Structure 1
Amino acid sequence: MSTGTLSRRDFLRAGGITGAALCLGFSFSSDGKEAKVIVAADADRQAIEMNAWIKIDADGKVTLVDHRAEMGQGSYQSVPQIIAEELEVDLKDIQVIFAQGDPKKYGGQITGGSSTVRDSYKKLLKLSATAREVLIAAAAAKWQVAATACYAQAGHVINRSSGKKFHYGELVAAASKLPAPQNIVLKKRSDYKLIGKPLHRKDTPLKTNGAAVFGLDKKLPGMLYAVVERNPRFRGKVKSFDAVAAKKVAGVKDVFTVKMEVFNTIREGVAVVATSTWAAMQGRKALKVVWDDSGFEHINIADIYTRQQQELKKEGISFKKQGDPDSALAQAANALDVVYQTPYQAHSAMEPLNCIAHYQKDKVEIWGPIQAPDWVQGNISQKFGVPIDNVRVNMTFLGGGFGRKAFLDYPYEATMISKHIGGPVQVVWSREDDTTQGPYRAGVSYRAQGAITNGEISAVKFRMAGQNIDHWSNPKRGVANDSTTEGFLAPYFASIKNISFADVPFEIPIPNMWWRSVYASTNGFAYESFMNELAHQAGKDPLAFRRVYLKDDRCQKLIDKMEEISGYKDRKKGDGFGVAITECFGTTVGQVVKVSRENGGKIKIDKVWAVVDCGWYVNPDIIQAQVEGSVLMALGAATMHEITFKEGVAEQQNFYNYPMPRINDMPQVIVHVIDNDADAGGVGEPGLPPFAPALTEAIFDLTGKRIRKLPFDMANV
């Protein structure tokens, strides 16, 4: 299975235009909202820009162009699994190649927001079903029978009456000349043979035998290697540097200053270019750099949270409000008023950032672990004045991303260095670079106020104070963070009369950006922890309490399943059970966490039960893996690591002081996926937000201690 890339021209040349293969893709309307399936021959004859998705060659081999990155979330399996279902082929007969960045051909290519399946599955089903029907039509014409007299199975078209069959490869020449039918009937879910099944992933063999090409594996003729000594304080500048010792290191070719765009700000550093990564790193160690850190604040972590809590005394910018929560709170006899705090986090993908760039005056080519190839293409075109069609962005496999590899800074920096040296270069970030430079998930503080009257919620009022990602990329002063309610379930708004959310603007010179599940990862802790506290204030069980306010049918069934698989109703008070339910990216996840004390007194997580309602789904094994990974990442963020700052410098450098969970920290995670006919939601991120509030509620149930600040030490609760 190839993991290379293929341009549209090469795809068409190898395929439908010569009649040697059948190529199908989409032709988008001018506004990009409608997609029409079209065969390559028609696209060429009509001069229509077609994005190439499927090619079937004369041997019956199917090539699929995956428009999204594979960073562990499973697109390399789920997309072929969708295609194989309606196309009626064996998965082993499908090879996958990564698309180059090009929104005109593929639409949005950002692998983020858990969007790969939910944004594309209907189009992919239609595309593959169209390919099947074109092949059936070609076979029917050969047999001179009606298309309804034929059916497709296992890469063949079969004549119902005679039992004769054609292999797909025998039909592609004729099929490539036929127009694509537009009124395709898709299978019922009950008829699926592949979708919904826990099939083994196609990328697992590649990743275990070393065949998968990650960013660091890619090599170009004549390529040099670079590392950059960047200012440890964001917004700092290079005052001067001494490269005499660095240039004496064997293999070092050049040393020069470089500026990298980070949102609307510049990060400065000194690049060391050499014949190997090792030589570049040794040259970097020998550098002597004097930094200019004047003109901006050098902030400490304690100051950040002190300021946030002061800011929470303000009303902030209203994001959503219904009823009159202020009056209800003022009239309440026992209103709750508490503050929750969540920490700054690094992304810490196992594969640190890296990127290859080759700048050649009127064209640029990029290779690397990139989550948003279309964004990179547009950014490089704009910043370097190169026509967008002359910017090629090639995706490799990603060793994790979590949002960091959707950012534009590292491809931009690699292109700057390539332009300076006049040749291809691979820029490599060390783990220390990755940990100390950011951008980070922002630490956020929340003020939660609520009142219980006659055993029911009479009002809730939330305020959040934390950095707004939009204020870096597209300043919107005076406008609330549009993720203020992210993670909070919509049915609450239908059942709580008085409710409000506000964003209290908070800005400091530390770069922040997306992190797995984005603001739901912090919002979820505050909002669901508060729901647990309100339940206790009302004298109700936390899960039964939620059932009252989450009245829609899907939430009720999710709660039913949470109770069923965890044995929640049979527990006793003080057994150490906690619950939380959050929603993001179209998927609702409820979790039950069970904890106990070990002999030494340390809190131990016994088991986690997760119920996932993601609507239409492809592969339950992938969902299981993504929920397990989300729980592990949430566990680390809640109990083990955080980024702190001293005088504007990140204090953590590597895993020795930013520790990751180990295998013996991982609890057993039981995942149940609810079957329904709703539209697909995401699965890569929604399993993370409910874990921390469920864990802290379980600890409260066991110990009576309420935890409102993350991270906390499990050994000292």
Structure 2
Amino acid sequence: MSTEQVSRRNFLRMTSVAGTALCLGFYFPSSAEEAEIINAGIADGIKDFEMNAWIHINVDGKVTIFNHRAEMGQGSYQSVPQIIAEELEVNMKDIDIRFAQGDRKKYGNQVTGGSSTIRTSYKNLLKLSATAREMLILAAANKWGVTAQECFAEAGHVIHKPSGKKFHYGELVVDASKLTAPANIVLKERSAYKLIGKPLKRQDTPMKTDGSAIFGLDKKLPGMKYAAVERSPRLHGKIVSYDATAALKVPGVQKVFKVRMGVFTIFREGVVVVANSTWAALQGKKLLKVTWDDSGFEHISSPVIFERQQQALQKEEGLFLKKQGDPDAAVAAGKKTLDLVYQTPYQSHSAMEPLNCVAHYQGDKVEIWGPIQAPEWVQDYISAQLQLPLEKVIINMTFLGGGFGRKAFMDYPHEAALISKEIGAPVQVVWTREDDATQGPYRPGISYRCQASVEEGEIKALKFRMAGQNNDQWRSGKKLTTANRSTSEGFLAPYYKSIPNISFAEVQFETPIPTMWWRSVYASTNGFAYESFLDEVAHAAAQDPMDLRRKYLQDERSQKLIDKIEEVSGWKKRNKNEGYGVAITECFASTVAQVVKVSKDNNGKVKIDQVWAVMDCGWYVNPDIIKAQVEGSIVMALGAATIHEITFKDGMVEQRNFYNYKMPRITDIPPIEVFVMDNTENAGGVGEPGLPAFAPALTNAIFDLTGKRIRKLPFDMASV
């Protein structure tokens, strides 16, 4: 039956699962921001609905949470149950967490990206948990023949205040499941929280320490084979021929054949080596002799890419995303103007866990296990490519050893499914570090042209244009007629109220290189250009860079954020021989201010002395997780700003592994202090917003110390 045929009363009725448990979930009506609560029994009969995380309480009192999102280090495995335990009034140790299978109809949006898990779910999770608690209280009150007001919940029990009698939740679930949910649930005030807002230790840490956590590489199936793939060194290359004679002589190698995996709207060809172990498959792969046809597309190189981008920025106005006032006229008529270009490089995701996937094709269905950020996208893609019904593509998520957007892609599960289909057995496909580095997709390299008009210390106009590959165009395979929707990402909304003339535009740019999301997406590159430029505007206006931001960010939250970053960094007390740089960026509904302090060592080289970061993410769950995510983001930003980049020569990637795509080492990391703003605003993201502000804060600090402007990343700290 359709959702329209199901009454609200039925949706709110709670029933048991075979009379043994209370099982609650969410129903999302179309265009609804908040969910209605639904029970498992009714849910089974509904065909067109979206549900999110479930709470399941059995007769033993054990609470099971079906986590609909991936855990790739960002902390959702801890934060989701921490929210539920608060309103449900249970101990964290009594909660069992399981990864939900990919199922859009049952769990709604399961894509782990955009720092969205908490910010899009927390209100519904609070409501669901509080509803379950109130139903258990009412069930207990009915058993005792007292009013619910005489009872309260604590530590998985309902207690009768006057008598001290109590039931544990397991004794109440059958009765509770027969009740109608209360219409108006009152949630706790933040001041009453016992768990939320507290730095509780993560529940996945012990598992990841003792090895019991199951990552993709840990998954094993009976009769499973192992595969490695030699793929085209250029995305569009085709196989002319291959010689597998030497590969088939490797002990354990069993079969060699061709495969074509989907990369968005095109296909990448490769030669598969199937063996009885990963080692044998990799050794066989090394001995393959493949002849490629690389004709029919441009073999582009990095210098050409960025030269074309800069030429395009000088010649074209581009497609406007946003435009207020008349920035063109204001810049043209300005007495003091700036016209500067900034450049950010291509970057690899380089998650510490290499790409891998287990697939088992069984004729009428295929089942997938692995580190997957976007189960429903994989389900959609494989369903279409293998012509299987959606429900016959079963996606099982494991822990992810980092993702940063790369594991929200469909290519590696699709390839594993095709290989399993060919060999008629379950298979685990493992990518080497070289595979990952040379195949992409990558964060796009982007050039920015930034213009401004400044008069008598006032910003009259800001004009921004970007030229770089559009991830949406790569996904669709079609030329877009509208500007990149992320052109202004990272730029704070309050500026629009205080600066009369502003525009953002995209100058469209294409190459054969595959690109996609990277941690903090376009804010990671936009932030460098826009916040570096604002620093240059501040100096042109003869203003302190922090004061300029305070002047134009006039809303209360921004003012408090600036107060805090000034206070913790000692901005107003900085010494003459020290360089201080500031940047403030927005990303996924959170704002982060960072100050970087630099000085010169005994050899006259610039060194980073300290980083201060203040995050305003509104309502939050666990401050320790926030601090860890901001610290990790800063380390990743440091690498992208000063150490590594992906470059191309003759259409191929020049970096192959960590020997020439180097990671920051512990000796490179400066002291980092992270502070979290306290307020009751809606929750913002946490996993990504800490990254964009670092690079401009660093380069602004270097200018403050040395007078040298850095407008191109990456740069070598030793040569500043």
Using the TM superposition, name which of 424-433 and 46-55 deviates more. Answer: 46-55
Give the conservation status (yes or no) of the 8 Å contact 2:53–2:68.
no
Q: 1:283 to 1:315 in 2, by over 3 A?
A: same
Q: For 1:33 and 1:86, how far apart are their aligned partners in 2?
A: 20
Q: For 1:183 and 1:47, how far apart are their aligned partners in 2?
A: 28
Q: 1:47 to 1:247 in 2, by over 3 A?
A: closer
| Structure 1 position 227, deviation (Å) | 0.7
Q: 1:537 to 1:46 in 2, by over 3 A?
A: closer
Give the conservation status (yes or no) of the 8 Å contact 1:41–1:176.
no
Structure 2 counterpart SS, 1:612:
strand
Match of 1:392 among 391, 394, 405: 394
Using the TM superposition, name which of 112-121 and 35-44 deviates more. Answer: 35-44
Match of 1:414 among 413, 416, 423: 416
1:690 alignment counterpart: 693
Q: Which amino acid aligns with 2:483?
A: A
Q: For 2:33 and 2:155, how far apart are their aligned partners in 1?
A: 33
Give the conservation status (yes or no) of the 8 Å contact 1:340–1:447.
yes
Gapped regions of structure 1 (runs ≥ 5)? 1-14
Q: 1:51 to 1:316 in 2, by over 3 A?
A: closer
1:35 alignment counterpart: 35
Q: For 1:604 and 1:141, how far apart are their aligned partners in 2?
A: 68
Q: For 2:47 and 2:408, how far apart are their aligned partners in 1?
A: 32
Give the conservation status (yes or no) of the 8 Å contact 1:346–1:440.
yes
Q: For 2:179 and 2:446, how far apart are their aligned partners in 1?
A: 57
| Structure 1 position 649, deviation (Å) | 0.4
After superposition, where does 1:41-190 map in structure 2 within 5 Å? 41-43=41-43, 53-190=54-191
Write the deviation string for residues 16-60 of structure 1: whole angstroms up to 9, x where unpaired. 322222211123336676532123345468899766611112221
Q: For 1:423 and 1:575, how far apart are their aligned partners in 2?
A: 63
The answer to whether structure 1 residue 607 and structure 2 residue 610 are counterparts is yes
Structure 2 counterpart SS, 1:488:
coil
Q: Which amino acid aligns with 1:440?
A: Y
Q: For 1:408 and 1:207, how far apart are their aligned partners in 2?
A: 26
The answer to whether structure 1 residue 24 and structure 2 residue 24 are counterparts is yes
Structure 1 counterpart SS, 2:118:
helix
Q: For 2:303 and 2:79, how far apart are their aligned partners in 1?
A: 44
Moved over 6 A (4+): 45-50
1:10 alignment counterpart: none
1:680 alignment counterpart: 683
Q: Which amino acid aligns with 2:25?
A: G
Q: For 1:136 and 1:304, how far apart are their aligned partners in 2?
A: 65
1:433 alignment counterpart: 435
Structure 2 counterpart SS, 1:561:
helix
Gapped regions of structure 2 (runs ≥ 5)? 1-14
| Structure 1 position 509, deviation (Å) | 0.2
Give the conservation status (yes or no) of the 8 Å contact 2:158–2:169.
yes
TM-score (norm 1): 0.96
Q: Which amino acid aligns with 1:138?
A: A
- Of all paired residues, the percent bearing the same amino acid is 70
Q: 1:195 to 1:33 in 2, by over 3 A?
A: closer
1:380 alignment counterpart: 382
Q: For 1:293 and 1:47, how far apart are their aligned partners in 2?
A: 47
Structure 2 counterpart SS, 1:450:
strand
Structure 2 counterpart SS, 1:351:
coil
Q: For 1:65 and 1:111, how far apart are their aligned partners in 2?
A: 15
Q: Which amino acid aligns with 2:391?
A: D
2:345 alignment counterpart: 343
| Structure 1 position 333, deviation (Å) | 2.4
Q: 1:418 to 1:671 in 2, by over 3 A?
A: same
Q: For 2:706 and 2:46, how far apart are their aligned partners in 1?
A: 71
1:494 alignment counterpart: 497
Q: 1:103 to 1:182 in 2, by over 3 A?
A: farther
1:4 alignment counterpart: none
Using the TM superposition, name which of 677-686 and 43-52 deviates more. Answer: 43-52
| Structure 1 position 602, deviation (Å) | 2.6
After superposition, where does 1:566-715 map in structure 2 within 5 Å? 566-715=569-718
Q: For 1:44 and 1:381, how far apart are their aligned partners in 2?
A: 22
Q: Which amino acid aligns with 1:281?
A: L
Using the TM superposition, name which of 49-58 and 374-383 deviates more. Answer: 49-58
2:331 alignment counterpart: 329
Give the conservation status (yes or no) of the 8 Å contact 2:48–2:105.
no
Q: For 2:31 and 2:552, how far apart are their aligned partners in 1?
A: 40
Q: For 1:361 and 1:30, how far apart are their aligned partners in 2?
A: 35
Q: For 2:180 and 2:108, how far apart are their aligned partners in 1?
A: 23
Q: For 2:671 and 2:626, how far apart are their aligned partners in 1?
A: 15
Q: For 1:45 and 1:470, how far apart are their aligned partners in 2?
A: 36
Write the deviation string for residues 285-342 of structure 1: whole angstroms up to 9, x where unpaired. 1100000000000001100011011010111111111111122112222311111000
| Structure 1 position 127, deviation (Å) | 0.8
Using the TM superposition, name which of 31-40 and 222-231 deviates more. Answer: 31-40
Q: For 2:498 and 2:273, how far apart are their aligned partners in 1?
A: 60
Q: For 1:48 and 1:533, how far apart are their aligned partners in 2?
A: 53
Structure 1 counterpart SS, 2:172:
helix
Structure 2 counterpart SS, 1:16:
coil
Q: For 2:170 and 2:378, how far apart are their aligned partners in 1?
A: 37
Q: For 1:476 and 1:551, how far apart are their aligned partners in 2?
A: 39
Match of 2:531 among 528, 533, 536: 528
1:539 alignment counterpart: 542
Match of 2:368 among 366, 369, 373: 366
1:355 alignment counterpart: 357
Q: For 1:573 and 1:492, how far apart are their aligned partners in 2?
A: 30
| Structure 1 position 667, deviation (Å) | 1.2
Q: 1:52 to 1:118 in 2, by over 3 A?
A: closer
| Structure 1 position 86, deviation (Å) | 0.2
Give the conservation status (yes or no) of the 8 Å contact 1:470–1:476.
no
Structure 1 counterpart SS, 2:280:
helix
Structure 2 counterpart SS, 1:110:
coil
1:260 alignment counterpart: 261
Give the conservation status (yes or no) of the 8 Å contact 2:70–2:372.
yes
Using the TM superposition, name which of 314-323 and 555-564 deviates more. Answer: 314-323
Q: For 1:550 and 1:397, how far apart are their aligned partners in 2?
A: 40
Give the conservation status (yes or no) of the 8 Å contact 1:485–1:523.
yes
RMSD across aligned positions (CA) = 1.4
1:472 alignment counterpart: 474
| Structure 1 position 387, deviation (Å) | 1.0
Q: For 1:525 and 1:634, how far apart are their aligned partners in 2?
A: 10
1:307 alignment counterpart: 308
Q: For 1:385 and 1:223, how far apart are their aligned partners in 2?
A: 24
Q: 1:364 to 1:45 in 2, by over 3 A?
A: closer
Q: Which amino acid aligns with 2:458?
A: E
Give the conservation status (yes or no) of the 8 Å contact 1:37–1:182.
no
Q: Which amino acid aligns with 1:103?
A: R
Give the conservation status (yes or no) of the 8 Å contact 1:38–1:180.
no
Q: For 1:28 and 1:357, how far apart are their aligned partners in 2?
A: 31
Q: 1:615 to 1:370 in 2, by over 3 A?
A: same
Give the conservation status (yes or no) of the 8 Å contact 2:25–2:38.
yes
Using the TM superposition, name which of 202-211 and 595-604 deviates more. Answer: 595-604
Give the conservation status (yes or no) of the 8 Å contact 1:23–1:52.
no
Q: For 1:46 and 1:361, how far apart are their aligned partners in 2?
A: 27
Q: 1:482 to 1:348 in 2, by over 3 A?
A: same
Give the conservation status (yes or no) of the 8 Å contact 1:41–1:177.
no
1:482 alignment counterpart: 485
Q: For 2:174 and 2:321, how far apart are their aligned partners in 1?
A: 58
| Structure 1 position 214, deviation (Å) | 0.3
Structure 2 counterpart SS, 1:284:
helix
Q: For 1:304 and 1:52, how far apart are their aligned partners in 2?
A: 45
Give the conservation status (yes or no) of the 8 Å contact 2:34–2:123.
no
